[in-house]
Amino acid sequence: MIKDLIKEDDPYLREMPEEYDFGKSLEYEPEELKNILIENMKHYVGYGLSANQLGISYKAFVMIKDGDPIICFNPQIKDYSEETAFVKEGCLSFPGLWFAVERARGVSVVYYDEEGEGKIGIFSELSARIFQHEMEHMDGELFTDNISDLKLFLAMKKRKIYLRRMKRNVKEQQKI
């Protein structure tokens, strides 16, 4: 089931989703939510996707780790590495917007899988970056929150050019 992404200016993205309670009868069973998130992450060509980006108010996200998708219910970051890196990243809620974000190179985490089994993990490099990005969604934060106004302005200018080109390419494809 492909769902529309919540638009970047929608205040819903700022709301903190509720904990996923495995013992309750909820709108989405864990396996069903996992499948919806994976299907939409693939459809929108992302490395991660939070439930709240689809209008589903649970603390849950999917992400790519070692080439495979994993689901993380009620995730937490327990520790951050001291070493950081600035790397360009984007967000499915902000199509075409890319800029360098400083993040820890490694994180130790806890979360639950679709069976409700607790997991402990140490993620590094790309998987650590994805986990940190998706955790921001769990806290009602956006990746644009921690960038200077000037850098955001410049990134938005580049985005406008990128989106204009994409629109032009679509029109040209439709002529063929």
Place of tokens 């986990």: 131
Distance (Å, rounded) from C-alpha 174 to C-alpha 119?
A: 47
Collect all residues with Cβ–Cβ distance below 8 Å to 158 and sequence separation of at least 6: 98
Instruction: Determine whether 136 is an active site residue.
Output: no
Residue with tokens 């997991």: 119
C-alpha 35/C-alpha 13 separation (Å) is: 21
How far apart are the C-alpha atoms of 91 and 76, rounded to whole Å?
A: 20
Q: Cα-flanking dihedrals φ and ψ of residue 44, to 5°? A: -90, 5
Among the listed residues 134, 136, 141, 172, the single catalytic one is 134
Q: What is the CA radius of gyration of the chain?
A: 17
Q: Which amino acids are annotated catalytic? A: 134
